[in-house]
Amino acid sequence: MRRVSSLALPVFLASAASTLSLQADILADCACSDNDSLQSYLSDWSSASGTLPDDLPPKQPFWDRPGILADIAQVKPSLSTPAQLASFLAASSPHSGDWLQAMPISSCGLRLDDNAVRIRVGLWLGLTLCVSHRCHCGTLSFLLLYACMFLLCVFTPEN
């Protein structure tokens, strides 16, 4: 998950960098100054993330990476349980969101039923979904669903 505030600057810089030549062509006959806003935002980015390359990269991942690494460094130490750390690492692993790009084709079995969508939305919102039930052995169980999509059954003795 990303904060909107952390996306704004990288998105603007990637967009501006990818259209610099077009901007120069459009504004060639204009008696206006250089893009002061772009220079200001480049200065903001370089003060937080390091030096700028000579040629500004047009791809957003270049502009995103330093902020993502800073967010990870801020969040990771605050995780207190192994389950939280596992969930965080699973969510931040490469290709963890690839399933979002899958086409919902029913004939191939790629369409989620209503309950799967409800569970996924609950997990996406960061909710811990917990259901207590009586296990077939008679003990009271709690099914905990975490964002890493593992089921953990915690048995408690009856009182």
Q: What is the pLDDT of residue 102?
A: 72
Residue count (the chain): 159
DSSP state of 136: T
User: Helix 60-75 vs helix 4-18: angle between axes, to the nearest 10 degrees?
Assistant: 160
- Tens-of-pLDDT digits for all 159 residues of the chain? 567 778 889 999 999 999 988 888 887 887 776 677 888 899 999 998 888 888 899 999 899 988 888 888 888 999 988 888 888 888 888 887 777 777 777 777 767 777 777 777 777 777 766 666 666 666 666 555 443 334 444 444 444
Going from the C-alpha of 142 to that of each of 45, 121, 148, the distances in angstroms are 47, 20, 17
Looking from the CA of 38 toward its CB, the CA atoms found within 13 Å total 14
Q: Percentage of residues in the chain with pLDDT exceeding 70?
A: 76
Q: What is the pLDDT of residue 13?
A: 92
d(CA 131, CA 114): 18
Pairing relationship of beta strands 129-134 and 151-156 according to DSSP bridges: unpaired
Put residue 95 in one of left, alpha, beta given phi > 0 → left and psi -120 to 50 → alpha. Answer: left
Contact 13, 74 (CB under 8 A): no
What pLDDT, in 10s, does the model give residues 64-85? 988 888 888 888 999 988 888 8
pTM: predicted TM-score of the whole model, two decimal places: 0.56
